[in-house]
């Protein structure tokens, strides 16, 4: 009886808070619309993002799903346009959504105080972000460092949120499905670009970018999505007919990936597929090898992009990258310990490398961190992935549930492929993929440790 009354009191309080929140949001929306002097689209994006955040406070899982879908759908638009300016800091939609995710993670972290004894899983991230925060105080461009810090903190927030919220196989499965089906929107836009010869023109060809700011970001994001879709297709309990929709989705995602012309993403996907095929699914291995062979024979664009990997032409992006890396290394040698300021690489290179007329990303995350934040921060960053892979490998060796074991296997090799891709691309800039990867990883770590005691599986 006492327990029932306590539950009623909690529900009554929750209802009051809900109505109060709706009232305050309505007042906020009215005042904002009344004083707003900017673009109406930006106003709608702002009001929508605030509504999603408030909804997430009451229904964290569904709210996070909406946040992911919203971030994925408006990545390009949200990155390029300023919503508003506060204290001389330009606030874009993507920055605002990142701050909202950070706030949600902090709230969830506080609510999970009994589990704080197990937060050693976050320790490598705390070290990396602690060093980044301290070095940001001495940056020559503090706004760039601030934006960079919040972006990195949002990755940890996704990890924390996943760890505490997606703590059962069913919840983790739902997260994987949301990641897969939310990718239909940016991929659909990419298909439209393919049919209308749109997207990003690099001087030689049109490259698909979907709703993202650059083809490379769409490409690495699609690699994660394809890996998850393949995992679901290969591990369904139902008969083969149930796998057909997921097999079609793999094709739906893979064709736009090819037309991003992003070689490192092609290699990453091939690496994961070959590893999974060699480990367990021989048909997948055969299909993967046959597909690569046929593409090389009958798709000139594929053949051209692959051939440049072995012979770097003077006008190829590989040659351009090598020249840029030499410049970066020369500046690293001048200040190898603490760098020039977190998040400032593109501005620093534009100011110091004469042949660069615009802000240019390093296209190598390891050199980026070393240039910006010094060797100790780079080692801390590497420590995040070493610790993560160590945990995943130990879990893989001990795991007896086949589907969970296979998901761990997929993520191990996807993580290794990310490590390789980070040598030639700007993976740290791909926030959507990072959010999804770290949320999935956080949930998986929890499910491995908890569901084993309850004998639960995916």
CA 53 centroid distance within chain: 19
Map residue 84 onto helix, strand or coil.
Answer: strand
Helix residue ranges per DSSP H, 235-281: 244-258, 263-279
Q: CA–CA separation, 79 vs 101, rounded Å? A: 16
Q: Token pair of 389, please?
A: 């892979």
What is the chain's pLDDT, residue by residue, as a tens digit (458 residues)? Answer: 555 555 555 556 667 777 778 888 788 788 888 788 778 888 888 899 999 999 999 999 999 999 999 999 998 887 777 777 776 667 888 999 999 999 999 999 998 887 777 788 999 999 999 999 999 999 999 989 999 999 999 999 999 999 999 988 899 999 999 999 999 999 999 999 999 989 998 878 899 999 999 999 999 999 999 999 999 888 876 566 677 888 899 999 999 999 999 999 999 999 999 999 898 888 888 888 898 888 888 888 888 877 776 665 544 677 788 888 999 999 999 999 999 999 999 999 888 887 765 668 899 999 999 999 999 999 999 999 999 999 999 999 998 888 899 999 999 999 999 999 999 999 999 999 999 999 999 999 999 887 555 555 56
Q: Token pair of 163, please?
A: 């760890």
- What's the pLDDT at 153? 97
Map residue 90 onto helix, strand or coil.
Answer: strand
CA 225 centroid distance within chain: 11
What predicted TM-score, i.e. pTM, was given to this entire model? 0.92
- What's the pLDDT at 315? 46
DSSP string over 100-120: HHHHHHHHHHHHTGGGGGGGG
Question: Residues 212, 221: contact at Cβ < 8 Å?
Answer: yes
Closest CA to 270 of 301, 293, 292: 292
- What's the pLDDT at 261? 92
Q: CA–CA separation, 79 vs 249, rounded Å? A: 27
- What's the pLDDT at 158? 96
Closest CA to 110 of 98, 123, 100, 119: 119
Element (H, E) at 378: helix 365-398
Q: CA–CA separation, 112 vs 353, rounded Å? A: 48
- What's the pLDDT at 178? 95
- Partners of 92 in the β-ladder: 82
Q: How far is CA 25 from CA 49, 129, 401, in A?
A: 12, 33, 46
- What's the pLDDT at 65? 94
- What's the pLDDT at 314? 47
Mutual orientation of helices 60-73 and 93-111 as an angle, nearest 10°?
160
Q: CA–CA separation, 398 vs 448, rounded Å? A: 10
DSSP string over 286-343: HHHHHHHHHHHHH-HHHHHHHHHHHS--TTSHHHHHHHHHHHHHHHHHHSTTT-S-TT
């Amino acid at each position: 009886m006492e327990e029932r009354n306590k539950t009623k009191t909690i529900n009554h309080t929750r209802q009051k808070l809900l109505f109060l929140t709706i009232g305050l949001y309505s007042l906020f929306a009215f005042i904002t619309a009344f004083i707003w002097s900017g673009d109406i689209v930006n106003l709608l994006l702002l009001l929508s993002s605030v509504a999603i955040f408030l909804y997430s406070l009451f229904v964290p899982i569904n709210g996070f799903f909406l946040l992911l879908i919203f971030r994925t759908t408006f990545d390009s638009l949200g990155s390029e346009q300023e919503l508003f300016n506060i204290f001389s800091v330009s606030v874009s939609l993507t920055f605002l959504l990142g701050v909202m995710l950070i706030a949600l993670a902090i709230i969830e972290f506080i609510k999970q105080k009994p589990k704080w004894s197990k937060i050693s899983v976050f320790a490598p991230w705390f070290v990396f972000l602690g060093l980044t925060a301290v070095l940001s105080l001495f940056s020559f461009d503090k706004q760039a460092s601030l934006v960079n810090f919040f972006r990195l903190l949002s990755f940890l927030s996704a990890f924390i949120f996943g760890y505490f919220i997606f703590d059962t196989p069913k919840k983790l499965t739902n997260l994987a499905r949301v990641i897969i089906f939310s990718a239909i929107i940016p991929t659909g836009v990419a298909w439209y670009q393919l049919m209308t010869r749109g997207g990003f023109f690099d001087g030689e060809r049109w490259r698909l970018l979907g709703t993202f700011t650059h083809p490379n970001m769409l490409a690495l994001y699609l690699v994660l999505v394809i890996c998850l879709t393949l995992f679901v297709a290969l591990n369904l309990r139902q008969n083969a007919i149930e796998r057909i929709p997921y097999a079609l989705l793999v094709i739906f995602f893979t064709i736009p990936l090819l037309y991003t012309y992003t070689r490192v993403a092609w290699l990453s996907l091939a690496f994961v597929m070959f590893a999974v095929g060699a480990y367990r699914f021989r048909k997948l291995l055969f299909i993967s090898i046959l597909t690569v062979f046929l593409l090389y024979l009958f798709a000139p664009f594929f053949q051209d992009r692959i051939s440049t990997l072995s012979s770097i032409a003077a006008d190829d992006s590989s040659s351009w990258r090598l020249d840029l890396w030499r410049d970066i290394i020369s500046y690293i040698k001048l200040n190898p310990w603490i760098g020039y300021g977190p998040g400032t690489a593109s501005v620093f290179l534009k100011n110091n490398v004469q042949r660069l007329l615009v802000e240019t990303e390093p296209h190598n995350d390891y050199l980026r961190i070393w240039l910006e934040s010094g060797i100790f921060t780079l080692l801390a960053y590497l420590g995040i992935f070493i610790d993560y892979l160590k945990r995943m490998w130990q879990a893989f060796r001990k795991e007896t549930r086949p589907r969970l074991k296979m998901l761990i296997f997929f993520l191990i090799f996807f993580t290794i492929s990310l490590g390789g891709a980070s040598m030639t691309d700007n993976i740290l800039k791909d926030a959507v993929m990072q959010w999804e990867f770290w949320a999935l990883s956080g949930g998986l770590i929890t499910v491995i440790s908890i569901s084993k005691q309850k004998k639960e599986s995916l």
